[in-house]
Each structure stands twice: as C-alpha cells, then as structure tokens.
Amino acid sequence: MLRFPDYVQVLVTGGAGFLGSHLCDRLIGDGVAVICLDNFYTGTRRNVAHLLDNPMFELVRHDVTFPIYLEVNQIYNLACAASPIHYQFDPVQTTKSSVHGAINMLGLAKRTRARILQASTSEVYGDPDMHPQAESYWGRVNPIGPRACYDEGKRCAETLFFDYYRQHHVLIKVARIFNTYGPRMHPNDGRVVSNFIRQALENEPITLFGDGSQTRSFCYVTDLIEGLVRLMATPDEVTGPVNLGNPGEFTVRELAEKVIALTGSRSRIESLPLPADDPRQRKPDIDLARKTLDWEPKVALDEGLRRTIEYFDRLLAAGWKSG
C-alpha cells in the first residue's frame, strides 16, 4: 500500500454540495490536495467549477453506496441529501447513503488508516425533550415517520463509526451539525433560510409552518467549516460526538421578519400546517466544542443573512427560476 507521510490527501464525499463545496474551498486554500466525490444528487458541478483547474483538486462522480478504492489519509463523509424535500423524495436511497455510505467509507478508512469525520446531525436528537441539546442526550426520534430515513440513517451511521472505532481502531470524528446556512444552499430545497430569502427576493408570500413560534439556531457556513477542520485536527483519542452550531436562538417568525427587513421585500407572512415530527425547539449546547476545539461561531445572523442574500440575489438575477 502506498503511503505519503508528508502529504495530506483528503477525500470529501458530498463535496459538490452546499457544505462540501465550502469545505473543498477551505482545504484547497490551506494547500491540501482534495478529492471531491459526489453523485450530484443534490450537489452540482457549478459549486466547485472554480476549483476544477486547480491541480490540487480532483472531482470524481461516484455514489457512496458503492465501494471505492482511493489512497487518502483523511475522509470527510458528507454525502447525504440534507433537506427534508430532497431526503424524503427517495427515502430508501437516503438511508442507504447514510448507512452503506458509512460502511464503505469506514472500510476505506480502515484499509488506508485514514482519519474519518462523519457529518452527523442535530436530527439524531429528534424532537428533543431536553433543551438545549448536549451530546450526552440520546434523542427522541420517531423510527417509522417520514423523517426517519434521515434521522435513523444518521443514527445508524454514528453507531457504525463507534463500532469501527472500538472493533477496528479506525480514527473517527463525529460532528453533530445544527442548521447551517450560507451561499450555495439549493434555492429550492425548502430549508427555512433559503426558502425565506428566495421568497422575499421574489416578493412571494413567506411561508411559515405553524405559527412560527418554533425556534431554530442558525450557523453561518464558514463558522461550521472551521469547526469541522478543527475537529479533524484533534488528537486521536477525540472521537466526539461534538455539537457544532450557533447557540443563538430565534423563532422562525423572527427569521422571516429579519429577511424581509434585510431584502426590503414586499412579501407578507403566511402560515402553513406544521409537518409531521417537526422539532419545536433546536439549540445546540456547544460547551464541548468550546473546550475541545476552542471554537465558537463568529458570524452574527444579520451579517450571514446579508452575505447569503447577496448570493441568492445574483443567482436569481442570472435567471435561476424556482419550480
């Protein structure tokens, strides 16, 4: 087996997606060689088009539910549709991406002795009866509901990570990511920030689920990426899970009002029925990330929204159409 002790070759699965493409940017900026692997289910070549001419960057079309053999020494496993609209479209594929994807990537990490980081999610906490959610909380997930393909898929992936760690001594890192937003989110993915911004820019009604009193926390993408890179760099014994997110808590209605104010939109706010198993409250406890990674988010919601609005504004001006 080939080894490159002084050379870091990083695999980013889901690298053409929203978070993955920002992670590729960050790693390439750090001078690291990156293989970006994606099946373009929700991600696009456009997100990484600016990296294609860089000799340190390679784009591979592949589905993580099938094995792949590459020489790498770090793996960031992000491949999985993340928005409810997309992950519920083909729920069996969603579970496969998480579970078979984890098995294949952990197998690769075992063979190459690479460190591997799993992009897990706050959804492992389900509709929590503990607030804010610390890593020690085991969650409250409906295993048979429409969100289960994602939530239980991600929970099973965490199980696999810890079993590969205990049984095969694979060096694992598990990040539980809370709502993250920023440029390159898919404008039609139904996630609350992208939805509100697109609706506001198009002066369409802003659609709230329920009365909008449910709370969410919103982490700007560059803050999240910094957390992932720091977690990957921790000593071998640090496995996580570690919550990464912004503990600032806002109601969904407050978010809608901010977006309307920042875009100067004429949109009005409209209520729709609450979807099944929609969590009422979501806020990370990030004490562990503060202690272990010396990390906390830096970008305030207003600033992050401004940057995201600029991106969506350019996208819509360039002719992107919803529907």
Ligand X SMILES: NC(=O)c1ccc[n+]([C@@H]2O[C@H](COP(=O)([O-])OP(=O)(O)OC[C@H]3O[C@@H](n4cnc5c(N)ncnc54)[C@H](O)[C@@H]3O)[C@@H](O)[C@H]2O)c1
**Strand ranges (E), the chain:** 9-13, 33-38, 57-61, 74-77, 115-121, 172-177, 180-181, 206-209, 215-217, 219-220, 242-244, 249-251, 269-272
The rounded distance, in Å, linking the Cα atoms of 254 and 260 is: 10
The answer to whether residue 150 is catalytic is yes
**In the chain, what are the helix, strand and coil shares in percent, each to the nearest 5?**
40, 20, 40
Catalytic residue among 76, 150, 181, 220: 150
CB of 264 to ligand X, least distance (A): 26
233 DSSP assignment = T
CB neighbours of 274 closer than 8 A, spacing ≥ 6? Answer: 209, 210, 214
49 DSSP assignment = G
Of 197 and 267, the one with the shorter C-beta distance to ligand X is 197
Q: Which residues would be at the binding site for ligand X (CB under 6 A)? A: 13-14, 16-20, 38-43, 63-65, 78-82, 97, 101, 119, 121, 177, 179-180
Of 73 and 97, the one with the shorter C-beta distance to ligand X is 97
Of 150 and 265, the one with the shorter C-beta distance to ligand X is 150
Evaluate the CA torsion angle 189, 193, 199, 202 in order and state its sign. Answer: negative
CB of 181 to ligand X, least distance (A): 7
Of 11 and 33, the one with the shorter C-beta distance to ligand X is 11
CB of 43 to ligand X, least distance (A): 2
CB of 142 to ligand X, least distance (A): 18
The rounded distance, in Å, linking the Cα atoms of 231 and 108 is: 20
DSSP string for residues in 72-110 = -SEEEE--S--SHHHHHHSHHHHHHHHHHHHHHHHHHHH
Of 214 and 267, the one with the shorter C-beta distance to ligand X is 214
CB of 266 to ligand X, least distance (A): 28
Place of tokens 């809370």: 178
Q: Which residues are tagged catalytic?
A: 150
